[in-house]
Structure 1
Amino acid sequence: MQQLKQHPRVAIIGSGAREHAITWKLSQSPLHPVLYTVPGNPGMWDLAAKVDVSPSDHAQFITWAQHESIDFIVVGPEQPLAEGLVDALAAVDIPAFGPSAAAAQLESSKAYSKSVMKEADVPTAKFEAFTDASKAMSYVRTLAFPVVIKADGLAAGKGVVIVDTEDQADATIRDMLEGNRFGASGHKVVIEEFLVGEEVSLMYFVDRDTVVPMLPARDFKRVGEGDQGPNTGGMGAFCPVPVFLERNWTPYVTDKIVRPTLQALNKQGITYRGVLYVGLMITHDGPKVIEFNARFGDPETEVVLPLLSSDLLEIMWATAHDELSAVNVKWQDAASVCVVLAGGEYPAKSDHGTPIQLSTETPEDIRLFHAGTTIENGQLVTAGGRVITVSAVGQDIPSAVKWVYANITQAHFAEMQYRRDIAHNWQR
């Protein structure tokens, strides 16, 4: 493996709080990288140069990367992975962190992902996939309510609907298959049994030969306190999950879920490199897979990366070159909690153009990760549903909870909403 030199030129693709957290962590590397964000957000622009080039235009993006002598590219969001950006970069020998388009199907197609789980005998919910609404409804009637209905393709975290009645199921299925709610992503649906338990997100660094688990986290998808209201992209998270660690579930997930899944991909000629996100439900029968993602989770990244002691750039570079086994990945003995500040009408509508006030002095162990923000006429304003993620580190989860809520007013904008009960179930 070619070693990264001092001051490597590194580009980060994406513009959410996840990418801000990645950029922040990369900026701490002892290699002192020169960072670029494509396009990034105002929080990232304090750490890296903004680049206005579309990663969806592979030829244009590669021309830019070659002209700027970029040494390494980190792909944050799922869309460029699904579009094959890593494959295009590999074809011109530009190293990148992230899976190929074939490997990213674990996220970009829920039907494909479930078929791989079935092949690998991975514990997951009972399911079937449909393109016909009447056949889908016939299957729904064989299940007990509630029932989970998922758009097959990428839907920005909004393609999962939990229904409680046949009427709701019929309306949701027809909305996806016939109403074009999610475009091509919803032209096939996956119908699943509803799993009961506590959710845990466990992310892995993965290369050809090695899998390295990160710390387990739990995010909060529902917009309202008490886990009420519609699903969102995530309203907050905490890390680690004490009960998960006490019960030693990580080796189980590694051996019964992650390795068999990767072996099933290998049988198809697919090598996975990057982050594999395993969304789990801890049921009475043990952990079962809710979903795979082909990249860091959001908001989990904003609580996991603050606890990483090792050099993230070294880990990512080694992963991209199948040298992960040579890296010692270490974590702080601490806890982290984050709370998302969202627009008042989120998730129904995004917030755009509302001025944001930020504190000029942020306390130690508090980070404000930008999500939906931009600059208009010199003023920081909202530019999305989830606007700012406030992240705190403490010696344990209760102290991190206390610290994050004590500093929630470090950012403020009109009509902002946030949950006041993040980590309420940290002992479960």
Structure 2
Amino acid sequence: MHVLIIGGGGREHAIAWKLSQDPRIGTIYVAPGNGGIDELERTENIALTGVDELFEFAKDRDIDLTFVGSEALLVEGIVDRFQSAGLTIFGPDQQAAQLEGSKAYAKSFMKKYGVKTAAYERFINLDAAKEYVANADYPLVIKASGLAAGKGVIICQNQDEAETALHEMMVDKRFGEAGEEIVIEAFLTGFEASILSFTDGKTILTMPAAKDHKTIGEGNTGENTGGMGVVCPHPAFSAEHEAAFQQDIVAPTLAGLQAEGMAFAGVIFFGLMINDDGVFLLEYNMRMGDPETQAILPLLRSPLLDPVMAAIEQRLDEITLDWRDKHAVCVVAAAEGYPGDYQTGETIEYIEQARFFSQVFLAGVKHHNDEYLTNGGRVLNVVGLGDSLEQARSTAYSSIDKIAFKGITYRRDIGE
């Protein structure tokens, strides 16, 4: 079986790493890949990014399975294009991908089908949004409705901050077209959790809950990023939380997908907030999370191909996943200045020393003249495993401390 993975970050490195361990799989192509992916056995980077050229490649090379990591291409409709020609692809069609591609659409879906979530309003007019925040209770949350690489969310403590956020999104286009429509939500207190799941349209099979660390600064300070670290399993997510999640989030989500004709084989990522009032859904992502995937897949003892093919063949209810009785801590190393402006082309040293103790997934990295060079904002991920959270954390940090590049930036409180 030949596989095409679409994407080029740490998530795709982790997916390729896991699939490359399966003897049923032949060549793994990753588009566009990165400087660490093509070092894997039977794995090759291909410099393709557009739907048309990826479609032609899959057709010409007789690709047996395409696994989409990129949310942007899902929203663009890559699954519809592949399926129209009978090509096997894992991911939501364009309609279902709108649950990630439009936060306004997702909130409407949640309200329609009784998915427990925060109260909200949606706006396309700046004056109307300003009038709303002038009379709102604070703090509140303002979100760019479209795709913003995990960074289009601003928590506002007062009216001045809210008006500034509205101007940045709707006038200055800080998040591009993503901010043309905005969602204003009630602010929920509590703790967050990320739960990835497989679905075949009939069943939603969840993975262990993970704890993401979104902001650039320690103590959850500074700007939001695409994610600076993950702990799995989530140390505060209990069996009671799981039961509430299944009842108030999973069951109505599945009912809504079926009612709207949005059954698909792929992944649903549930971003949750948990407090004394229950489990609330903050957002859907319709693909594997980054960096959650990097922490979760090293804990999965079962072959990744098993739930993927079961979802495609609509027999996910027959699958039981085998998980290691371990803890994982993933720490993300970023370029100096991220999530703002940053430099690329810096030499990365001592990756092999870190790999002696931990799994290292490369993200914004290119390989040139036998050197690793930085090539993105989030550069790499170091994943430590242990019998306890403390042991996993110690392993991850002792490993990432060995890696060096100019301006290396990472939080030192992941898993505290």
1:388 aligns with 2:380: yes
1:384 partner amino acid: G
1:57 partner amino acid: V
Instruction: Check whether the contact 1:213–1:250 (CA below 8 A) recurs between aligned residues.
Output: no
Instruction: Check whether the contact 1:143–1:193 (CA below 8 A) recurs between aligned residues.
Output: no
Residue 269 of structure 2 corresponds to: 277
SS of 2:401 mapped into structure 1: helix
Instruction: Check whether the contact 1:202–1:213 (CA below 8 A) recurs between aligned residues.
Output: yes
Q: 1:72 aligns with which of 45, 65, 68?
A: 65
Q: 2:140 aligns with which of 118, 141, 147?
A: 147
CA distance in 2, matches of 1:348, 1:288: 30
Residue 83 of structure 1 corresponds to: 76
Residue 236 of structure 2 corresponds to: 243
CA distance in 1, matches of 2:131, 2:34: 46
Instruction: Check whether the contact 1:365–1:393 (CA below 8 A) recurs between aligned residues.
Output: no
Instruction: Check whether the contact 1:356–1:382 (CA below 8 A) recurs between aligned residues.
Output: yes
Residue 94 of structure 1 corresponds to: 87
Residue 300 of structure 1 corresponds to: 292
SS of 1:403 mapped into structure 2: helix
CA distance in 2, matches of 1:362, 1:227: 26
The farther-off stretch of 128-137 and 323-332 is 323-332
Residue 353 of structure 1 corresponds to: 345
1:129 partner amino acid: R
Residue 401 of structure 2 corresponds to: 409
Unaligned runs of 5+ in 1: 1-7
Instruction: Check whether the contact 2:3–2:25 (CA below 8 A) recurs between aligned residues.
Output: no
Residue 5 of structure 1 corresponds to: none
How far apart are residue 290 of structure 1 and its match?
1.0
Residue 48 of structure 2 corresponds to: 53
Give the RMSD, CA atoms, in angstroms: 1.5
Q: 2:412 aligns with which of 415, 420, 423?
A: 420
How far apart are residue 326 of structure 1 and its match?
2.4
1:264 aligns with 2:256: yes
Residue 127 of structure 1 corresponds to: 120
CA distance in 1, matches of 2:267, 2:350: 32
CA distance in 2, matches of 1:255, 1:266: 16
Q: Which digits, 9 at most, give the CA deviation of each residue in 1:180-204, with x for residues without a partner? A: 2222211100001111011100111
CA distance in 1, matches of 2:347, 2:235: 38
Residue 329 of structure 1 corresponds to: 321
CA distance in 2, matches of 1:193, 1:185: 20
Instruction: Check whether the contact 1:394–1:403 (CA below 8 A) recurs between aligned residues.
Output: yes
Q: Which digits, 9 at most, give the CA deviation of each residue in 1:242-264, with x for residues without a partner? A: 3313x332232123212212212
Residue 36 of structure 1 corresponds to: 29
CA distance in 2, matches of 1:350, 1:109: 28
2:108 partner amino acid: S
Instruction: Check whether the contact 2:74–2:92 (CA below 8 A) recurs between aligned residues.
Output: yes
CA distance in 2, matches of 1:168, 1:242: 33
How far apart are residue 276 of structure 1 and its match?
0.5
CA distance in 1, matches of 2:23, 2:66: 18
How far apart are residue 365 of structure 1 and its match?
5.7
Instruction: Check whether the contact 2:36–2:366 (CA below 8 A) recurs between aligned residues.
Output: no
Q: Which digits, 9 at most, give the CA deviation of each residue in 1:106-152, with x for residues without a partner? A: 10000000001001111111100001112112222343222111111
Q: Give the alignment's TM-score, normalised by structure 2.
A: 0.96
Paired-residue identity, %: 41
Q: Give the alignment's TM-score, normalised by structure 1.
A: 0.93
1:375 partner amino acid: H
1:93 partner amino acid: G
CA distance in 1, matches of 2:21, 2:243: 30
Q: Which digits, 9 at most, give the CA deviation of each residue in 1:213-245, with x for residues without a partner? A: 100000101111111111111110100013313
1:21 partner amino acid: A
Q: Which digits, 9 at most, give the CA deviation of each residue in 1:322-366, with x for residues without a partner? A: 121222211111100011111111111233111111333445661
SS of 1:269 mapped into structure 2: coil
Q: Which digits, 9 at most, give the CA deviation of each residue in 1:35-61, with x for residues without a partner? A: 11111111111121111222x232x22
2:170 partner amino acid: L
SS of 2:306 mapped into structure 1: helix
Q: 1:208 aligns with which of 157, 179, 201?
A: 201
1:406 partner amino acid: S
Q: 2:247 aligns with which of 252, 255, 279?
A: 255
Q: 1:314 aligns with which of 306, 315, 336?
A: 306
1:192 aligns with 2:185: yes
CA distance in 1, matches of 2:209, 2:155: 24
2:16 partner amino acid: T
Instruction: Check whether the contact 1:122–1:257 (CA below 8 A) recurs between aligned residues.
Output: yes
Residue 101 of structure 2 corresponds to: 108
Q: Relative to 1, partners in 2 of residues 1:363 and 1:415: Cα closer, same or farther, differing over 3 Å?
A: closer
SS of 1:248 mapped into structure 2: helix
CA distance in 1, matches of 2:252, 2:331: 34
2:69 partner amino acid: G
Structure 2 counterparts to residues 370-381 of structure 1, below 5 A: 370-381=362-373
2:350 partner amino acid: L
CA distance in 2, matches of 1:34, 1:63: 17
SS of 1:103 mapped into structure 2: helix
CA distance in 2, matches of 1:209, 1:186: 34
SS of 1:352 mapped into structure 2: coil
Give the paired residue count. 414
Q: Relative to 1, partners in 2 of residues 1:363 and 1:152: Cα closer, same or farther, differing over 3 Å?
A: closer
